[in-house]
Amino acid sequence: MSTKTEIDFEKLPGYRWYENGQSAFSGPLFQLFHRLDRLFLTWAAECRAREHHFPPFIPAKALAKLDYFRSFPHLITFPVTLDASEENLKQFGEGTPMNEKGEIQLTATAPIRDVITPAACYHFYHFFQGEHFEQPAYLTTRAHCFRRESHYLPLQRQWSFSMREIVCIGSSEEVKAFLASYQERLSRFFEKLGLPVVWKDASDPFFNPSQNPKYLLQKLAPVKQEMVFEDRLAIGSVNFHRNYFGEAFGIQREGSEAFSGCVAFGLERWIYLFLTHFGPNESDWPALESE
């Protein structure tokens, strides 16, 4: 029988919360992390999705194709290095590299040409740039993603978090069928476990949204439905990208710009769901379909 539990994170075995918006965990929580990801991989196998592994950085030029820097400047995390000149490195090392507040005091920096991954699926469009697909492509990956936020909460809103995505690149009809099938499958799963999760239309977190035409378009014709736990926390989403990525990256399906869509799962948020709905005791957690 499920319970609703307030979590004392300081007393949660194997868990550590860092004030910079990141979680560390071991033991049963780490096992649950892998159990959940195996579940998502089981669902990915239903469409024979091919798994990929990508590096933690994505080229800035790839995100520029999406106007990402104007749409989401508040979310970006950059990998920064010092300019490699001997004089600059000496100035940094012999100066005061860190002040009393724990802030790094940089000297000259090298040019920034990459961004730390903000969403798992972006790598696919960069990877398949210029490709022509004769069949729909079904893909999956798990990424460590970074999004800077105004505030952070353990397992719920983090600077770095883990995202598993299942992606379809194909025609409009193929992508819509893919998304509908997974939305139905997820609804059955939530009902089977008695989880208080509902679907809600949503939009991406644009900067200055009222002035962004992409936000206004999403409000007029929603393309994102979130899985919302207890009417307060999105644990994942299904997203119809139309042909936006196909056009930006020159990806084609049957001679036309490819459409795409993805199903995304936030693993830390699913752990939070299990802890608050089923309780902190591992023995109370239900078996999953992958087991």
Other residues' Cβ atoms within 10 Å of the Cβ of residue 168: 27
- Say what the pLDDT of residue 277 is: 96
- Residue 206's pLDDT is 60
Q: Above 50 in pLDDT, residue 205?
A: yes
Report field, pTM of the whole predicted structure over 0.85: yes
- What's at 92, amino acid-wise? F
Domain spans of the chain?
9-77+118-284, 80-113
Distance CA 170, CA 35 (A): 30
Say how many CA atoms lie within 13 Å of 54 toward its Cβ: 28
| Other beta carbons within 10 Å of 10 | 9
Mean pLDDT of 152-160: 97
Instruction: Report the range of poorest mean pLDDT among 4-18, 96-110, 240-254.
Output: 4-18
Distance CA 169, CA 180 (A): 15
> Where residue 202 falls among pLDDT bands split at 50, 70, 90?
confident
DSSP per-residue letters across the chain: --------GGGSTTEEEETTTEEEE-HHHHHHHHHHHHHHHHHHHTTTPEEE---SEEEHHHHHTTTHHHH-TTT------B---HHHHHHHHHS-SB-TTS-B---SBPPP-EEE-S-TTHHHHHHTTT-EESS-EEEEEEEEEE---SS-BTTTB-SEEEEEEEEEEE-HHHHHHHHHHHHHHHHHHHHHHT--EEEEEE----SSGGG-HHHHHHHHS--EEEEEETTTEEEEEEEE-TTHHHHHHT-EETTEEPEEEEEEEEHHHHHHHHHHHH-S-GGGSPP-TT-
243 Cβ partners below 8 Å, 6+ apart? 172, 256, 257, 258, 259, 260
Distance of CA 137 to the CA centre of its chain: 20
* The pLDDT of residue 9 is above 90: yes
Query: Of 263, 268, 273, which is closest to residue 229 (Cα–Cα)?
Result: 273
Residues paired with residue 109 on neighbouring β-strands, in sequence order: 82
With pLDDT > 70 as the criterion, what percentage of the chain qualifies?
Answer: 92
Percent of the chain at pLDDT > 90 equals: 88
pLDDT above 70 for 25: yes
Contact 4, 276 (CB under 8 A): yes
pLDDT tens-digit profile of 30-85? 999 999 999 999 999 999 999 999 999 999 999 999 999 988 999 999 999 999 99
pLDDT at 100 over 50: yes
Cβ 97 vs Cβ 215: under 8 Å:
no
Can you tell me the mean pLDDT for 90-106?
96
Superfamily of domain 9-77+118-284 in CATH is Bira Bifunctional Protein; Domain 2 (3.30.930.10)
Rounded CA gap, 106 and 283, in Å? Answer: 49
**Average model confidence (pLDDT) for the chain?**
92
Tell me what pLDDT residue 219 has.
40
| 149 close to 21: Cβ distance less than 8 angstroms | yes
